[in-house]
Amino acid sequence: MTLKVMMIGDVVARPGRAAALERLQDLREQHDVDFLVLNGENTSGGFSITPPHAEALFAAGVDVMTSGNHIYDKREVLPYIEKNNRLLRPANYPAGSPGVGMWTGRATHKQSDVKFAVINLIGRVFMHPQDDPFRKADELLTNIPEDTKIILVDFHAEATSEKQAMGWHLDGRVTAVVGTHTHTQTADERVSPNGTAYITDLGMTGSHAGVIGMNRNDVIARFMSAVAPRAGHSEGMVRIHGVLIEIDEETGRATSITRLSLPHES
C-alpha cells in the first residue's frame, strides 16, 4: 500500500499563516494525504509561534509541527510546547530545553493504524552552537519502535553541505530528510539509493515579494546600516512551498518525492 506524506516549508508571518489555514484541508483532500508535517517556527510575526496560531494550524490539518532557531522567541510558547508534544523543537538543543525533539504516533487527521515518527534537528554550521545533530539522529533512531517504519526528519540548517551530509548519513534508515531554514526552495529533490526521500530545502510558505519573507526595503536598510530596526514581513506574491512524498507502507521507503510551489491569492 502507498501512503502519502506532505511536508510544508517554513510558514512566515500573517501571509504564510493565512495561506496555510486556507489551503491545507483542500491540499490534503486533493492529494489524499495521510500525514502532514509543517515547519511553524516563523508563523507569528516572522519569529516563533503563539499558542493560538499553533492550535489553528493543528485544527486546519497539521499532524505534527516542526521548528528551528526561532522557536523560543515568543515566551508564551514555552508552557505550550511543554504540554503539546506535536509541536517540536530541535532534538539536539541542550538537555533540559522546553519541549521535545521527536514525536511518535498515528495520524490525527486521517484514520489509520500506520505509525509515524517525526524528528526535528538543527544544524551547527553558521548557526548557534548546539549538540551534534548527526550523533543525536543516531541516538534517536535507536529509540523508535521497530513497528514504526515511516520516519520523517526536518533538518533546520543553513549550510547546504551539512544538509546533504545528513541526507546521506540517514539514507536507508529514515523515510525522508528535508531541509528547512533558508526559505528558498531547492530543485534537488530525489529518492536516494536506499529509499530515503531528500530535498535540501522545502522553501517558504509566505510572501515572496520581499527577502525570505521580510519587507525588502527593511532588509536592504539592515544591510546598509548598523542601526536599522528589525524588518517587518512582506506582503504579496504568496506561495506555498513543500513536497509530496509517496511511501511504501510495508518498508517505510520512499518511492517518489514531488516539489510543491503553489501560488496563493491573499
Structural domain harbouring 166: 2-259
Answer yes or no: 70 catalytic: yes
Question: What is the structure's pLDDT at 42?
Answer: 96
Confidence of residue 142 (pLDDT cuts 50, 70, 90): very high
Report pLDDT for 199: 98
How far, in Å, CA of 200 to CA of 5, rounded? 17
Q: Indicate whether 235 belongs to any domain.
A: yes
Q: Is residue 241 part of a domain?
A: yes
pLDDT over 70 for what percent of the chain?
100
Task: Please identify which of the residues 31, 53, 70, 109 carries the catalytic annotation.
Answer: 70
111-138 average pLDDT score:
95
Name the pLDDT band for 266 (thresholds 50, 70, 90): low
Q: Tell me the average pLDDT across 138-152.
A: 97
Mean pLDDT of the chain: 96
Mean pLDDT of 71-98: 97
CA angle 55, 148, 251 (to 5 degrees): 125
The pLDDT value given to residue 46: 92
Closest listed residue to residue 90, CA positions, set 65, 55, 111: 65
pLDDT in tens, 23-42: 999 999 999 999 999 999 99
pTM of this structure: 0.97
What is the pLDDT, as a whole number, of residue 60? Answer: 97
Residue 121 has pLDDT above 70, yes or no: yes
For 221-255, what is each residue's pLDDT tens digit?
999 999 988 899 999 999 999 999 999 999 999 99
pLDDT-derived band at 112, boundaries 50, 70, 90: confident
Determine the pLDDT at residue 265.
Answer: 76
- CA 179: distance to chain centroid? 8
% of the chain beyond a pLDDT of 90: 94
Q: Looking at the domain assignment, is residue 264 inside a domain? A: no
Q: Is residue 171's pLDDT more than 70?
A: yes
Q: What is the mean pLDDT of residues 98-125?
A: 94
Angstrom distances, CA of residue 202 to CA of 37, 156, 178, 237: 11, 10, 7, 17
Provide the domain count of the chain.
Answer: 1
What is the CATH classification number for the domain harbouring 132?
3.60.21.10
Is residue 265 included in any domain, yes or no? no
For residue 168, give the DSSP letter: H
- 202 found inside a domain: yes
In a domain, 266, yes or no: no
Question: What letter represents residue 209's amino acid?
Answer: A
Q: What band does 188 get if pLDDT is binned at 50, 70 and 90?
A: very high
Looking at the domain assignment, is residue 159 inside a domain?
yes
- Residue 97 included in any domain: yes
